Amino acid sequence: MPIIAIMAPYEDIDAEENEALNFKRLTRQEAQALRELQPPISPWRVIQLQAVVGFVVTLLAWVFTMKTSVTWSTAYGAMAVVIPGMLFARGLMSQFSSINTVTAGFGFFVWEAVKIGVSVAMLFAAPKLITELNWLAMLIGLVVTMKVYWVALLMRPKLKQMNKS
């Protein structure tokens, strides 16, 4: 049974909703104030945090198992996140990606595709590069390191309060 959506004509929208549809451009000062209230997270900070977490997970794998195959597998899983992330961050920070919004958007998708491709290639190459590869340890290193994105989001600088004058 198909779902049919009925859209109301623009005139039927009440005044409050109509005001919400109006778009107001920010002035230069308002945009600067908004940037100061919500500081951006550097991708290099996220990658740095991922590398530290990857090292800690690898160290824990060594401490708990004392097996070099598990340790190398865990480290390789972490590297399968950090190395492509470095390529992605470098690509996003390039001059080409900051020319205008179109190139920034295009650059984002291109470098995200490169990141995914390198990650997949590293995972396919893992059995040839790591002797006695432990897939579980590699996936633990990969997943724990990848989840650092959420930790970095939680650790971002706190939003500043607006002074009401």
Report the pLDDT averaged over residues 97-107. 78
CA–CA separation, 61 vs 78, rounded Å?
12
In this prediction, residue 41 carries a pLDDT of 78
CA 13 to chain centre: 38
Is 130 part of a structural domain of the chain?
yes
In a domain, 109, yes or no: yes
Asked whether the predicted pLDDT for residue 5 surpasses 50, the reply is no
49 within 8 A of 148, measured Cβ to Cβ: yes
Q: In this model, does residue 1 exceed pLDDT 50?
A: no
Task: Indicate whether 103 belongs to any domain.
Answer: yes
Number of separate domains in the chain: 1
Q: What is the pLDDT of residue 164?
A: 47
The whole-number pLDDT of residue 19 equals 59
Average pLDDT over residues 117-143: 96
Average pLDDT over residues 104-128: 93
Q: Is residue 98 part of a domain?
A: yes
The reply to whether 19 falls in a domain is: no
Dist CA 76 CA 133 (whole Å): 10
Assess if residue 164 is contained within a domain.
Answer: no
Eight-class DSSP state of 42: P
pLDDT at residue 28, rounded to an integer: 84
Average pLDDT, the chain: 82
DSSP, collapsed to helix, strand or coil, labels residue 3 as coil
The reply to whether 111 falls in a domain is: yes
* pLDDT of residue 79 exceeding 90: yes
Mean pLDDT computed over 101-124: 91
**Residue 1 within a domain:** no
Provide the domain limits for residue 92: 53-154
Which comes out higher in pLDDT, residue 52 or 13? 52
